Amino acid sequence: MAQVAVQEVSRHFGPVKALDNVTVDFADGGFYALLGPSGSGKTTLLRMIAGFDYPDSGHIRIAGEPVEAVSVEKREIGMMFQNYALFPNMTVFDNVAFGLSVRGVAKPEIARRVGEALELVHLTGFDKRKPHQLSGGQRQRVALARAIVTRPRVLLLDEPLSALDKSLRVEMQVELKRIQRDVAITTIFVTHDQEEALTLSDRIGILNEGRLVQEGPPLDIYERPRTAFAARFLGEANLFDITPGGAGGVSLGDGTMIRINGDTGAARQVAVRPEKMLLEPLSAPAPEGDSNVIQATVQQHIFAGSSLTYLLDWRDQQLKVFVQNRTGAVIGAGETVRLSWSPRDTVVLAG
Amino acid sequence: MAAVTETGAAHRRRAQRLTIFAMTGPAYLWLALTIFLPLSAMAYFSFLTDAPFGNKQAFLTLENYRAFFQEDFYRTLMLRSFRLGAEVTFYCFLFGFPCALVLAKTIRGRWREALFLLVILPFWSNALVRIFSWTMVLRGNGVLETLVNWILPGTGPLNLMFSYPAIIVGLVHSYIPYMILTCYLSLQAIDDSLIEAARSLGAGRLTVLRRLILPLAMPGIFAGAVLIFVPVVGSFMEPRILGGRNGTFIGTIIEDQFTAVFNWPLGAALSFIMLGIVLMILLIASPALRRMR
Amino acid sequence: MTRRRISLPAIGRVYLGLVLAFLYLPILVMAAMSFNSSKLYRLPIDWSTQWYVALAGNDKLIAAGTNSLIIAVVTTIIATALGTAVSLVFFRYRFRGKAVMQLLLFPPITIPWLIIGTAMLIFFFWVGIGRGLHAMILGHVALALPYVIVVVTARLHSFDPTLEEAARSLGAKAWQVSWRVTFPWIAPGLFAAALFAFAVSFDQFVISYFLAVPGVSTLPVEIYTSIRKGFTPEINAISTIIITFSMALLLGVARFYRFGGER
């Protein structure tokens, strides 16, 4: 177990900048998610930490030791692959034992540790099976057991749950979290699934076009996205163009003044999460206090049982609002409604 | 450490180049020594007056190529060889394509696998021995004569040995598995639902064959044709065994230059003319094929 | 069922049967004749194994057969080793010149053997390599190499490269990755490739014909010489043995390498 430090790492593939001066620290024992769309460089970064790729410039340290010149097999890492990459010619036992046996660990010791690892992932008794005789979830557990049995310093997960169907994925998220806590191993995982990143990790780094856009605990990033990209990639957001207008207030395009907390600086945009907006008919009593208020027209609603999503038109811009299904009634298309939200929920975006 | 860091990727690329070189070097060196250098040497020899061995003096000349263009003898034989190649290729297609069609589209499951294997099984067994086996069948008083007289009594003696048809039969037998194999591979790649779609649109069997199956199988037919035509043009062993005195082709003439007459430069020149014509035919044919697709 | 098919299955099957008869008739006739004691192949057959007995005493053919086996075994080992290395490089790396290297594998397959054989004869004679066993091995390996590369590459295509990465991430050194992960996967392909190489060499006539020297020849060359001299019935016997052997070999290949493509 160790801290991983990435310092000013860049990597080019021809004219394409896969990674552009990325610096990020992965805390010892932490569970860190690298989130980004495909082509954002997240997988390149993971593969560099693993040692399958090398930076053009910059440093990577594992437990303080520079590893740029250390090849994969000597880095003492554990990696779980997207397709699990279980050796098809070996049994579950041999798969898990592989890392120990190439290190020359004694047979009884191997048997003991493989047994422990399989117990940890709840696969005791499956040791004689071949990978093709396992279900998707079981394969994933084997891959996990194989990756951690060598007691690596870092556990790297490449889109670990993407091959599973939805219900199994949720179950495995819980499992993964439990196991990570049990073995207390520094874990870095790559995903394009924002929900997965929010659920599993205690820190998230958002990457876009080779750059680290924002980094921090999930709640921070969700509540205080720094850029439009971060706001829209992690969760959903209604974006408004603003013109700065004095202390504590800015004006939207149509001149409506809204209040914000703090200073806008040179910002040109604010974001409001769809669930933070209150949607009411115009007939309802006006909200009290310092709420921001605008009027919009309902275009369409999407019913999902416990909740509703409204798509609204505001000055030819589409807004989205999530509403809990409390009343059992729906506001029809074409009706004008009032949207209100607290200044606290108005997030100022940089750039 | 820091110096290594800066060139991490570059260092790796260098190591990779070395690995590639070390692993492919021996094989390609081998090919150079046994294929490419010999072909170059042959090209050189084709311009010599004599093989430069021992104390013999050899000069550069175009004589060997001129011989080909001046003497009807070589041209006739070259033409004969190409006609042989075309005929054998045609018969292989005529009889092989339906066979591939039956295999690919009407026979299913384990039977198909077994029959397919049966078809290509002779293909790897010794070509010389298979040609030789035809002499048992085709000779006078042989199996074919007995068989024909048994079906049609009174046909009388039938001796096909040492004739042009005998050469054709032997070569078609040798090379038809190529055509079946390549056609089968492209036919079985045709989705059955395409054929069903065509039928549902009112196309008859022949229309489906002409408008759909043949065009889609064209790459396979072409590949088979090339694999057959090229070696048949250069065949010499088959005409010798089955054709006897009627089996003189450009291939046998080239063989003679190397094993009997010992005029290596002429043999080399004839080889290159043959190779040149083959390549030209392939070049002319390939755009036509691309259009057909 | 039948109405949807393009050709009528019954006619198709009969046709297929006729083609198979055409393919196997001469071979079966030859095999039968090898057991006919009549030197003039008189029918009906007078069954006897005398030609096989005579074969056992034909030192020339036995020597040629031994040569054939030696050449085939050496060719198999060299061609499989060199070809597999090339396949691994084609599979693992992308690099400039790869397309050209792949294109260079075609000439040995597509140029008529007559031309390749005579070119080898000229070159080997010229530079002093000469003719004989070593020259034939040189030539056979060149012909077998492309086949080995094609077969092994086909097998590698079904191999998941992340398996190698997984093994490395678990601490396996390069040789451990190759030996414990890659090799077990491509082993059937290697075996098929080796059998291919053996068959290519063992059945090769044209190249051997030009590179053989009197006294050092292979079975096909010896058979050809006998046929042209006016053959003896022993040739039927040895031919039958060869063809049975080759077919058995191919059936072996088929166990490991799918020709049909479809599954």
Q: How confident is the model at residue A247 (pLDDT cuts 50, 70, 90)?
A: low
pLDDT digits (tens, 9 = 90+) for A11-23: 988 888 889 889 9
Count, residues in chain C? 263
Cα distance between residue B58 and residue B51, in whole Å? 7
Nearest CA in chain A to C158: A88
Among A1-15, A271-285, A287-301, C45-59, the range scoring the smallest mean pLDDT is C45-59
- Optimal mutation site among A49, A62, A73, A79, interface C, most CBs of chain C within 10 A: A73
Contact C95, B20 (CB under 8 A): yes
Q: Cβ separation of C246 and B226 shorter than 8 Å?
A: no
Q: Is A134 helix (H, G, I), strand (E, B) or coil?
A: coil
Cα distance between residue C242 and residue C221, in whole Å? 13
Interhelix angle B72-105/B264-292, nearest 10 degrees: 40
Q: What is the pLDDT of residue C5?
A: 46
Q: Cβ separation of A88 and C185 shorter than 8 Å?
A: yes
Q: Cβ separation of B12 and A54 shorter than 8 Å?
A: yes
Q: What is the per-residue burial (b if ≥16 Cβ within 10 Å, else e) of C68-86?
A: beebbebbbebbbebbbbb
pLDDT digits (tens, 9 = 90+) for C200-229: 888 888 899 988 888 888 888 888 888 888
Instruction: Taking residues C115-126, report their average pLDDT.
Output: 90
Among A96-100, A119-123, A299-303, B147-151, the range scoring the smallest mean pLDDT is B147-151
Share of chain A above pLDDT 90, in %: 21
Average confidence score pLDDT of chain A = 87
Instruction: Taking residues B14-23, report their average pLDDT.
Output: 84
**Which of the listed ranges A167-176, A215-224, C124-133 does the model predict with the highest average pLDDT?**
A215-224
Q: What is the pLDDT of residue B217?
A: 87
Q: In this model, does residue A232 exceed pLDDT 50?
A: yes
Q: In this model, does residue B223 exceed pLDDT 60?
A: yes
Q: What is the per-residue burial (b if ≥16 Cβ within 10 Å, else e) of B72-95?
A: eebeebbeebbebbebbbebbbeb
Q: Cβ separation of B4 and A57 shorter than 8 Å?
A: no
Give the residue numbers in C contacting A (CB under 8 Å), as ranges.
160, 162-163, 165-173, 176, 180-181, 184-185
| Ordered strands of the A336-341 beta sheet | A278-281, A336-341, A292-303, A307-314, A317-324
A114 interfaces chain C, CB cutoff of 8 Å: no
Q: In this model, does residue A82 exceed pLDDT 90?
A: no
Q: Residues of C with CB below 8 A from A76's CB?
A: 171
DSSP-derived secondary structure letter, A102? H
Q: Cβ separation of B1 and A66 shorter than 8 Å?
A: yes
Q: In this model, does residue B293 exceed pLDDT 80?
A: no
Q: Which residues contact B188 (CB under 8 A, 6 or more apart)?
A: B104, B105, C260, C261, C262
Q: Cβ separation of A150 and C176 shorter than 8 Å?
A: no
Q: What is the pLDDT of residue B8?
A: 61
Instruction: Taking residues B201-210, report their average pLDDT.
Output: 77
pLDDT digits (tens, 9 = 90+) for C4-53: 444 467 788 888 888 888 888 888 888 888 887 777 666 667 777 788 88
Q: What is the pLDDT of residue A113?
A: 93
Q: Which residues of chain A are in CATH 3.40.50.300 domains?
A: 4-229
Please give, rounded to a whole number of angstroms, the shortest distance from the CA of B3 to a CA of chain C.
25
Q: In this model, does residue B199 exceed pLDDT 80?
A: no
Instruction: Please give the domain boundaries of chain B with CATH numbers for all domains.
Output: 72-292 (1.10.3720.10)
Q: How confident is the model at residue A248 (pLDDT cuts 50, 70, 90)?
A: low
- Please report the DSSP string for B57-75 in residue order: ---B-SHHHHHHHH-HHHH
Burial of A227 (0-12, 13-18, 19+ CB in 10 A): middle
Q: What is the pLDDT of residue C3?
A: 47
Cα distance between residue A20 and residue A11, in whole Å? 7
Cα distance between residue A158 and residue A161, in whole Å? 9
Q: In this model, does residue C164 exceed pLDDT 70?
A: yes
Q: How confident is the model at residue B3 (pLDDT cuts 50, 70, 90)?
A: very low
Q: What is the pLDDT of residue A234?
A: 86
Q: What is the pLDDT of residue B92?
A: 94
Q: In this model, does residue B2 exceed pLDDT 70?
A: no
Nearest CA in chain A to B13: A54
For chain C, give every domain's residue range.
54-256
Structure tokens at C198: 């053996």
Contact A99, A150 (CB under 8 A): yes
Which chains have at least 3 CB atom pairs separated by less than 8 Å from chain C? A, B
Q: How confident is the model at residue C107 (pLDDT cuts 50, 70, 90)?
A: confident
Cα distance between residue B224 and residue C260, in whole Å? 15
pLDDT digits (tens, 9 = 90+) for C125-158: 888 888 888 899 999 999 899 888 888 888 888 8
- Higher-pLDDT residue of B12 and C216 is C216
Q: In this model, does residue C260 exceed pLDDT 50?
A: no
Of C6, C141, C205, the CB nearest to B30: C141
Q: Is C262 helix (H, G, I), strand (E, B) or coil?
A: coil
Which residues 158-197 of chain B have a CB within 8 Å of chain C?
173, 176-177, 180-181, 184-185, 188-189, 195-196
Q: What is the per-residue burial (b if ≥16 Cβ within 10 Å, else e) of B204-214?
A: eeeebbeebbe
Q: How confident is the model at residue C72 (pLDDT cuts 50, 70, 90)?
A: very high
Q: In this model, does residue B7 exceed pLDDT 60?
A: no
Q: Cβ separation of A98 and C172 shorter than 8 Å?
A: yes
Q: In this model, does residue A258 exceed pLDDT 50?
A: yes
CATH for C54-256, among 1.10.3720.10, 3.20.20.150, 3.40.718.10, 1.10.10.10?
1.10.3720.10
Q: In this model, does residue B12 exceed pLDDT 80?
A: no
pLDDT digits (tens, 9 = 90+) for C83-105: 998 988 888 888 888 888 888 88
Of A11, A58, A68, the CB nearest to B4: A68
Q: Residues of A with CB below 8 A from C170's CB?
A: 73, 78, 98-99, 102, 146-147, 150
CATH number assigned to the domain covering A236-349:
2.40.50.140
B111 interfaces chain C, CB cutoff of 8 Å: no
Q: What is the pLDDT of residue C257?
A: 61
Share of chain A above pLDDT 70, in %: 97
Q: What is the pLDDT of residue C10?
A: 78
Q: Cβ separation of B136 and C41 shorter than 8 Å?
A: yes
Q: How confident is the model at residue C106 (pLDDT cuts 50, 70, 90)?
A: confident
Phi/psi of residue A184, nearest 5 degrees: 50, 55
Cα distance between residue A311 and residue A303, in whole Å? 11
Q: What is the pLDDT of residue B168?
A: 92
Q: How confident is the model at residue C167 (pLDDT cuts 50, 70, 90)?
A: very high
CATH topology of domain A4-229: Rossmann fold (3.40.50)
Q: Cβ separation of C93 and B16 shorter than 8 Å?
A: yes
Q: Is C170 helix (H, G, I), strand (E, B) or coil?
A: coil
Structure tokens at A164: 């599973």
Q: What is the pLDDT of residue A54?
A: 85
ipTM for the assembly: 0.84
pTM (whole model) above 0.90: no
Q: Which residues contact C177 (CB under 8 A, 6 or more apart)?
A: C164, C167, C168
Burial of C109 (0-12, 13-18, 19+ CB in 10 A): middle
Structure tokens at C90: 């084609």
Q: Which residues of chain A are in CATH 2.40.50.140 domains?
A: 236-349
Instruction: Taking residues A261-279, report their average pLDDT.
Output: 82
Q: What is the pLDDT of residue A27?
A: 87
Q: Is A23 helix (H, G, I), strand (E, B) or coil?
A: strand
Q: How confident is the model at residue A351 (pLDDT cuts 50, 70, 90)?
A: low
